């Protein structure tokens, strides 16, 4: 996410032009840049083939893997070759808008007849910006959601059954104490060689701390995103609890043990009982050699689960030569039922359309069985990542820079947060000042 700061500087210097337009034989052609693996590419090929058949507009797809996408898009912008239609990361939207790369598509979407009320509110609002705050319901639309990505919590059903552990309630979260007790029962040496080979859990602090902090009543920033709020008892308790899973309770592999075989690989091998699950994981996890399912995230002092919802958007270049057709492609990929079905069938996302999603979740052959949990997150207890709606993520990234001593048990969470909050605040102040300058220059 830190790429957005460097990207903003590049964008501000660039007069952009797009790669689409009319071909030599008079046919219309758009360029569409996105990121994804083979399943996503195949699904888009199928969906776009129908779009071309229906509209007569050809589409050249430019696909990259996730790690290269931001860099390649930045290069396209710098080289005056902005694709007509492209993925937007939430944290980059404001810089795209400020530098004139993204088109305001509010009127075109309203005129298209797309039923925004039948799309996830979180997904649509993620690509709204009112000039000051992103994610507000009154902001102009600078894209539509490619997807919403609720980050759910999963468990190895086969392991729990084999160990005589009652299956967790799909509607009631474990308390943190209950979760520790269950994971202790599941952490063991199963083959008698003296080394642990089965673990209760294996969480990653950078992607899983959010759930614990929020459910414990803490947060990263205040409501208007001007003050960093990590140096609080609620936040410190959540971070300390996370570190204690390894250093006190011994229910998750240590850093050295994870270096031998990381926790994702251990989960895939059936060696970990509880592990996060995103919609993008489902097509792979459904082929594992054990049964798994979804449950609410363990709950801290609030008694309520919390987690984050990711999202990617699809936007239109401000200088596309085919603006009407570009918006048609965006609305088709985001809101057309047939296109959505193609993407959902590929096992890479939750449906954007609420009625389709509810039918999808209730299917008798659903895998995982409780995939309704994904919808509960989107509707009830999911939130945007802390830096999703700020102008740059350096302030947020600072938290992770020197956190390892806490995870290793060499520094308390409270001491670390007291040291780190001023650094984060300074970076957030810089971010907000840059946002104000960008707004003044629009």
Q: Is 432 exposed, middle or buried (0-12, 13-18, 19+ CB in 10 A)?
A: middle
pLDDT of residue 37: 87
* DSSP H or E run through 214: helix 205-215
Give pLDDT, residue 1.
37
Distance from C-alpha of 49 to C-alpha of 59, rounded to nearest angstrom: 9
pLDDT of 6 over the 90 cut: no
Determine which of 4-8, 29-33, 438-442 has the lowest per-residue pLDDT on average: 4-8
Q: How many Å is the Cα radius of gyration of the chain?
A: 23
pLDDT tier at 25, thresholds 50, 70, 90 = low
- Taking the CB of residue 21, how many other CB atoms lie within 10 A of it? 14
For residue 359, the surrounding DSSP H or E stretch is helix 354-361
Give the mean model confidence (pLDDT) for residues 334-342.
96
Q: Cis link prior to 368 (omega < 30° from 0)?
A: yes
| 70 neighbors 89 (Cβ within 8 angstroms) | yes
Q: If pLDDT is split at 50, 70 and 90, which confidence band does 19 have?
A: low
- Kindly give, in sequence order, each residue whose CB lies less than 8 Å from that of residue 62, ignoring residues fewer than 6 positions away: 31, 32, 33, 34, 83
User: Is residue 349 classed exposed, middle or buried when 0-12, 13-18 and 19+ CB atoms within 10 A define those classes?
Assistant: buried
Beta bridge partners of 314: 87, 144
- Is 11's pLDDT higher than 70? no
What are the φ/ψ torsions at residue 15 (nearest 5 degrees)? -95, 110
Question: What is the distance between the alpha carbons of residues 408 and 393, in angstroms, rounded to a whole number?
Answer: 25
Structure confidence by residue, pLDDT tens digits, 388-422: 999 889 999 999 999 999 999 999 999 999 999 99
Question: Measured between alpha carbons, how far is 99 from 267 in angstroms, rounded to an integer?
Answer: 43
Q: Give the domains, in start order, of the chain with CATH numbers.
A: 29-149+310-384 (3.40.190.10), 152-308+388-441 (3.40.190.10)
Q: Is pLDDT of 201 > 50?
A: yes
Does 383 score more than 50 pLDDT? yes
Helices marked H in 216-295: 233-247, 255-260, 263-268, 282-285
The average pLDDT across 342-354 equals 91
* H or E, element range at 310: strand 307-316
Alpha carbons 290 and 296: distance in angstroms, whole number: 20
Q: For the residues 201-229, what does the mean pLDDT come to?
A: 97
Q: How far apart are CA 323 and CA 87, in angstroms?
A: 16
pLDDT confidence of residue 172: 96
Instruction: Quote the pLDDT of residue 13.
Output: 32
What's the chain's average pLDDT? 92
Helix or strand holding residue 157 (H, E)? helix 157-162
The pLDDT tens digits for 259-272 are 889 999 999 999 99
In b/e form, how buried is each residue of 23-47, taking b as 16+ CB within 10 angstroms? eeeeebbbbbbbbbeebbeebbeeb
The share of the chain scoring above pLDDT 90, in percent, equals 83
Predicted local distance difference test score (pLDDT) of residue 439: 75
Residues 8-36 have a mean pLDDT of 65
Average pLDDT over residues 2-16: 38
What is the rounded distance in angstroms from the CA atom of residue 268 to the CA atom of residue 287?
10
**Distance separating alpha carbons of residues 35 and 217, to the nearest angstrom:** 35
Check residue 435 and give its pLDDT. Answer: 87
**pLDDT on residue 438:** 79
Query: Is 5 a residue whose pLDDT tops 90?
Result: no
Instruction: State mean pLDDT over 290-296.
Output: 98
């Amino acid at each position: 996410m830190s790429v957005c700061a460097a990207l903003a500087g590049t964008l501000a210097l660039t007069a952009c032009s797009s790669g689409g337009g009319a071909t030599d034989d008079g046919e219309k052609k758009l360029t569409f840049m996105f990121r994804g693996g083979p399943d996503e590419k195949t699904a888009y090929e199928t969906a776009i083939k129908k779009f071309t058949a229906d509209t007569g507009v050809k589409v050249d797809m430019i696909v990259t893997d996730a790690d290269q996408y931001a860099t390649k898009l930045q290069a396209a912008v710098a080289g005056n070759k902005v694709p007509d239609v492209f993925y937007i990361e939430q944290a980059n939207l404001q810089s795209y808008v400020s530098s004139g790369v993204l088109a305001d598509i509010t009127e075109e979407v309203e005129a298209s007849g797309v039923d925004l009320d039948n799309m996830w509110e979180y997904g649509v609002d993620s690509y709204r910006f009112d000039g000051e705050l992103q994610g507000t319901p009154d902001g102009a639309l600078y894209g539509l959601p490619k997807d919403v990505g609720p980050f759910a919590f999963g468990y190895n059903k086969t392991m729990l059954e084999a160990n005589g552990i009652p299956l967790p309630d799909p509607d009631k979260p474990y308390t943190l104490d209950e979760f520790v007790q269950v994971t202790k029962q599941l952490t063991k040496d199963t083959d008698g060689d003296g080394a642990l080979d089965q673990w209760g859990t294996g969480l990653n602090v950078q992607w899983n701390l959010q759930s614990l902090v929020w459910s414990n009543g803490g947060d990263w920033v205040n409501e208007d995103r001007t003050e960093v709020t990590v140096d609080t008892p609620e936040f410190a308790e959540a971070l300390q609890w996370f570190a204690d899973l390894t250093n006190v309770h011994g229910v998750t592999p240590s850093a050295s043990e994870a270096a031998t075989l990381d926790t994702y690989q251990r989960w895939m091998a059936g060696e970990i009982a509880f592990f996060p699950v995103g919609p993008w994981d489902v097509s792979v996890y459904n082929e594992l050699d054990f049964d798994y399912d979804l449950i609410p995230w363990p709950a801290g002092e609030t008694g309520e689960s919390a987690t984050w919802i990711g999202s990617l958007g699809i936007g239109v270049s401000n200088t596309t030569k085919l603006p009407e057709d570009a918006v048609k492609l965006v609305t088709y990929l985001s809101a057309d039922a047939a296109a959505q079905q193609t993407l959902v069938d590929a096992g890479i996302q939750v449906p954007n359309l609420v009625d389709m999603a509810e039918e999808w979740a209730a299917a008798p052959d659903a895998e995982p069985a409780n995939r309704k949990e994904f919808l509960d997150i989107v509707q009830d207890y999911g939130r945007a990542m802390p830096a999703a709606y700020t102008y740059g993520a350096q302030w947020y990234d600072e938290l992770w820079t020197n956190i390892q001593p806490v995870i290793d048990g060499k520094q308390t969470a409270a001491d670390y947060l007291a040291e780190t909050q001023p650094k984060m605040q300074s970076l957030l102040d810089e971010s907000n000042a840059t946002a104000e300058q960008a707004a003044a220059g629009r």
